[in-house]
Structure formats: structure tokens, C-alpha cells
Amino acid sequence: MTIVASNELSVSAERAPRLSWQESMRLAIRDAGVLCRRLNLADDIRQQAVAASKAFSVFAPLEYVGRMRSGDPNDPLLRQVLPCAEELSEPAGFTQDPLRESTVVASPGMLHKYEGRVLLVATGACAVHCRYCFRRHYPYRDSPSSMEQWQAALLRIEGDASIDEVLLSGGDPLTLTDPKLRELVGALSQIRHLRRLRIHTRLPIVIPRRVTEGLVRILRETRLSCLVVVHANHPREIGDDAADPVCQSLAKLIDHGIPVLNQAVLLRGVNDHVDVQEELNRRLVNQRVMPYYLHQLDRVAGASHFETPVSVGARMIDQLRERLPGYAVPRYVQELPGAASKTPLF
């Protein structure tokens, strides 16, 4: 099956009504040159992108690319996935493991940093490669990839009754197939003191069809209370009407009683303007998604050009409080290595 180049998501969706999310993964753009040509970008931008993509490859699903404006190198969605020359500069303070996560590995693939909750790096695969990702240098190959390899982590959780919540992260845990996910959720639900399962994912945003009936069933049928934390940074990533495929994927979860929260990262040139933040958070609550965190950028090597001063973030939060209901204003936080929780900035 082929998808015809199109800037209108609805057109490609109509042309390929039965395209599965796995096919979308397979058809995603993985080549910087192809992405630039698809969006009619200038040659110099394409050459930069191709060079910078060698350090961290491109991955952009067609659904997500379909939301970008053709011919605009500053498109806020494009900027999140397009490699650029600035990635190759190495400013002081930007490192491979800015959160020093290697110091909180309790078992292969399991990070235990905060009281009561552990994070499982469920897979190294993502449905989009975000240029600012703080795990872009994470040693994913050390993480378990089979139930057998998860046994050590499961035993650690079982032996610590203070843990009542497991976060599935990655990578993106929803790149796992439903049977794999069902197996992992099933094993976790056997641990009596666990009460909640939280899934951190960008898939409902970038490949909305990932929210299948089967997935919803897994999350509904487990004894654990499930929450989903999605990750959208810009209003154009979610749309604002019931016919939008992303809104539909979010509604599918929420209609089935699964709370959905959003976290965003403050990114220069993407969402560092209060009007953009206002529209993003307004759209989220219109869709019943609760804004959770706005993260100050983690200082990962290759992402320095996205950094926004904390003073800018703080002023925006102040303005958002005037413009939006209290529940629509995210918590502006930073992750500091060694801290007992994410640190509120404002």
C-alpha cells in the first residue's frame, strides 16, 4: 500500500482507511533528505539535515508530517524532528546523560529515582525521533526485550512493598505490540502491592491509530488503575475538533475511563511564546486532557539550540494563569539529578 504525498491528513487517511499503526511505523520517513524533499525545503537545509542525522537518525510518521506546512523550515512540528547543524556544536554543560540516570538503574531497564514509583524502559523504539530527547544517548541495548529478561526487575518490584506505581516509558512503550504489552501488564498486575500503571507515550499524537480497541481493552481489563501521559508540544499536534484523528484517539482513551495527561517540553522556536502555550493548553482541556508538566529542557548534547531561559518560562506561566482556568496551567518543572522529585520552577 502506498500513501500519496499530501499535506492533508484526511486525504491520506481516506486513501488508506485500513492502514494499521504497524504499517504507519514501517512507512515512516527515516531519511532526512526524503523529509526535506517532501516538504519542499531548500538544498542547504537538506544538506545540513542529512549531515546532522548521522548522529541521531530521523523518524517521522506520515501522519505527523502531514500536519506540517510545506516550504517552511521553521514549522514548529518540523523543528522537533528535523536535524540541524546546531546539533553538532558542543556547548559546555550539555552532556550525554544530563539526568545522570545511569546512577538510578535499580535493575536492567528499571529506574528507581522517586519514592513509590519505578520507571521501566519498556523498549528503545519510538514512533518519532524528537531532536531534544534527553534519552537520545540512552544505552537502550542494555534494557530487557523479553519477559524472561524482565524477571529481575519484576522481582525487585515484588520485593519492595513501598512501590505502588509502575511507569512504562522508553523509548515509547506503545511501540510494543498488544500481545507483548498484555504480557507485561499481566505480569505487573500479579504484584499485589502495585495499584497503578502509567504509560508515557507520544503515539496517540504521532500515529493516532495506535489507540486500538485491543489496547483500550488491555488498559481497562487489568486490575491496575491505568493513566496515560501523552506528549504534545504545540497546538497543531492535537487539533481542536472531534473529527481530528488525534482528538479521536485521545477521546477513545478518555471515554473508556482512562485519564489522559499531557507533558510538554519548553522548546525555543516551537512553543516559547505565551500565545502558543495558551492555545496548546486550551486545546488539551477542550479534549479533556489535563496539562501535567511543562519541562525545562534537559541539557542533553545536541539540543542546546532549543534551550529557553527559565525567566521566559516563568513569565509565560504567570500570563497563562491570567488567561486560563487554573486546571489548564501545567506545572513548570525541571529535573535535577539527585532531587527527590521534579523541581517546581515557578
Q: Which residues bind ligand PLP (CB under 6 A)?
A: 111, 113-114, 117, 119, 167, 341-342
Q: Would you count residue 126 as binding ligand SF4 (CB under 6 A)? A: yes
Q: Would you count residue 63 as binding ligand SF4 (CB under 6 A)? A: no
**Distance separating alpha carbons of residues 282 and 290, to the nearest angstrom:** 10
Residue 170, binding choice from ligand PLP, ligand SF4, none, Cβ under 5 to 8 Å by partner class:
ligand SF4
Q: Would you count residue 124 as binding ligand SF4 (CB under 6 A)? A: no
Q: Would you count residue 173 as binding ligand SF4 (CB under 6 A)? A: no
Q: Least separation, in Å, of the C-beta of 127 and ligand SF4?
A: 7
Residue 168, binding choice from ligand PLP, ligand SF4, none, Cβ under 5 to 8 Å by partner class:
none
Closer residue to ligand SF4 (CB): 202 or 252: 202
- DSSP tag of 92: T
With CA atoms as reference, report the closest residue to 115 among 342, 341, 335. 341
292 near 250, Cβ under 8 Å? Answer: no
Which window, 159-167, 168-176, 268-276, 277-285, contacts ligand SF4 (CB under 6 A)?
A: 168-176
Q: Would you count residue 204 as binding ligand SF4 (CB under 6 A)? A: no
Considering only 46, 112, 113, 129, the residue that binds ligand SF4 (CB under 6 A) is 129
Q: Least separation, in Å, of the C-beta of 255 and ligand PLP?
A: 24
Q: Which residues pair with 95 in a beta bridge?
A: 300
Considering only 98, 170, 173, 313, the residue that binds ligand SF4 (CB under 6 A) is 170
Q: Would you count residue 167 as binding ligand SF4 (CB under 6 A)? A: no
Query: Would you give the distance in Å from CA 6 to the centre of its chain?
Result: 24
With CA atoms as reference, report the closest residue to 62 among 15, 14, 131, 4. 4
Q: Would you count residue 99 as binding ligand SF4 (CB under 6 A)? A: no
Residue 79, binding choice from ligand SF4, ligand PLP, none, Cβ under 5 to 8 Å by partner class:
none
Which window, 93-101, 122-130, 292-300, 309-317, contacts ligand SF4 (CB under 6 A)?
A: 122-130
DSSP of 240-258:
SSTTSHHHHHHHHHHHTT-
- Show Cβ contacts of residue 22 under 8 Å, excluding neighbours closer than 6 positions: 177
**Distance separating alpha carbons of residues 229 and 231, to the nearest angstrom:** 7
Cis peptide before 109 (omega within 30 of 0): no
Closer residue to ligand PLP (CB): 82 or 261: 261
Closer residue to ligand SF4 (CB): 61 or 170: 170
Considering only 49, 84, 128, 250, the residue that binds ligand SF4 (CB under 6 A) is 128
**Distance separating alpha carbons of residues 235 and 264, to the nearest angstrom:** 11
Q: Which residues pair with 230 in a beta bridge?
A: 262
- Give the ranges where 142-271 is alpha helix by DSSP (H): 147-158, 178-189, 203-206, 213-221, 245-255
Residue 117, binding choice from ligand PLP, ligand SF4, none, Cβ under 5 to 8 Å by partner class:
ligand PLP
198 near 188, Cβ under 8 Å? Answer: no
Which residues form the interface with ligand SF4 (CB under 6 A)?
Answer: 126, 128-130, 133, 135, 170-172, 202
